A and B are shown apart, each in its own frame.
Chain A
Amino acid sequence: NAGVTQTPKFRILKIGQSMTLQCAQDMNHNYMYWYRQDPGMGLKLIYYSVGAGITDKGEVPNGYNVSRSTTEDFPLRLELAAPSQTSVYFCASSSLLGGEQFFGPGTRLTVL
């Protein structure tokens, strides 16, 4: 099993550009999450999903959108990139809502 995979690993965007961060898991987990982590800080939840077709906002959803058309994939979309979105983005999944979360390797995004 590959676990949780994320692409790309790194990306530099210009202000106003858009992009999609990809996340996939092969563990058949219902729950998936997107976090951002700024330097020296903890993880902040952006969006989460409890199953295909169901998503909900986390702590810091502004500027982001998600979709969950399949159990495996949970892409995160940035429509109009801003410097404040410079961060490391982690995707995670779990079999239970309060259960162990498995994380992907992260996407390091810089917006200039």
Chain B
Amino acid sequence: RKEVEQDPGPFNVPEGATVAFNCTYSNSASQSFFWYRQDCRKEPKLLMSVYSSGNEDGRFTAQLNRASQYISLLIRDSKLSDSATYLCVPNNAGNMLTFGGGTRLMVKP
């Protein structure tokens, strides 16, 4: 079973929309998570770290559901510049990070 599973998308949304992605994870011992964003033909960059039940940073909100083993990322008031691939990466207490394929978001005018 894969460590994380994400819908690869693409999610096509209009500017100003609210969009949410889910990421399910298999290791119940995962303590924290990273959300990275990767723009087309660029390197991944950290968007947000999630250490407890969730985190909020401006238009971005991450929520962690440990009972169901998923983490979600909500983006409000989508901008064209939010178009990217979003990678959910679990932090398994000292083990190396594993990067999956992510979810592709395309925000249209």
Q: Which A residues lie at the B interface, using CB under 8 A?
A: 33, 35, 41-43, 45, 48, 88, 90, 96-101, 103-106, 108
Contact = CB atoms under 8 A, between A and B. Distances in A.
Contact of A45 (B46, B96, B100): B96
B101 A42 contact: yes
B94 A103 contact: no
Given A42-B99, A42-B101, A42-B102, A98 B92 contact: yes
Interface string B85-109: 0010001111111011110000000
Interface residues of B, number: 20
Contacts of B96: 33, 45, 48, 97-98
Nearest to A104: B43
B1 interface: no
A97 B93 CA distance: 9
Given A41-B101, A42-B100, A42-B101, A100 B95 contact: no
Interface of B: 34, 41-46, 49, 87, 91-97, 99-102
A88 B94 CA distance: 27
Closest 3 CB pairs of A and B: A103-B43, A42-B101, A43-B99
A105 B42 contact: yes
A102 to B, nearest CB: 8
Given A90-B44, A100-B34, 6 more contacts: A43-B44, A88-B41, A98-B94, A98-B97, A100-B46, A105-B42
A56 to B, nearest CB: 10
